[in-house]
Amino acid sequence: MSQISIRMMLISSAMIASLSLVSTSAIAAEEKSLFERLGGTYAIAQTVDHLVNKLYVNNGLNANPIIKAIHDDKSTMPGFKVMLTNWVVARTGGPKIYQPDMFGRGVGMKESHAHLNISNREFDIIMNECKNTFYTFNVPEKELGELMADLESFRNEIVTFPHKE
């Protein structure tokens, strides 16, 4: 092989290597978790705190007597804020801190909502309150879209009323 063609081969393999470096770093930038982009646990806990305060006094939700009983008992509020924060942290790619315990907490969305008779209308109310909360805390459009789409994907697990045969 001539010296020129060896040099050409070296140049083109160096180009391929640098191109793949560029694309690897582009992917790494794209792959920052939603947890990180939202600002971590403190930022998430702040939005959950605001959201849950709104949900507890929402008349549309409290038209459901099972929900009303939980919301009227204010002692449920701090624990609910903890569990919801843990769920969002884990769900958005943070530490896996939403875990089942011996009290039946920390389980899947189907199991933790089955007894609440939640309707599509109630699910929509929650989605609206979530969106309002994200606007209140200036969550950027891209992250807001990702959060809303992810929450929407749980509708089928959470809505059980009217009961399906």
Measure the CA–CA gap between 94 and 7, rounded to whole angstroms. Answer: 47
Work out which of 43, 45, 114, 116 binds ligand HEM, going by CB under 6 A: 116
3-state secondary structure of 10: helix
Work out which of 67, 89, 139, 147 binds ligand HEM, going by CB under 6 A: 67
Measure the CA–CA gap between 35 and 45, rounded to whole angstroms. Answer: 12
Residue 70 is a binding residue for ligand HEM (CB under 6 A): yes
Nearer to ligand HEM, 10 or 66 (CB): 66
Contact 125, 60 (CB under 8 A): yes
For the beta carbon of residue 101, count every other beta carbon within 10 angstroms. 9
Nearer to ligand HEM, 8 or 124 (CB): 124
Least distance CB 22 / ligand HEM (angstroms)? 38
Give me 135's structure tokens: 């606007």
Q: Report the interface residues with ligand HEM, using CB under 6 A.
A: 61, 67, 70, 76, 80, 83-84, 87, 105-107, 112-113, 116, 118, 122-123, 126, 151, 154, 158
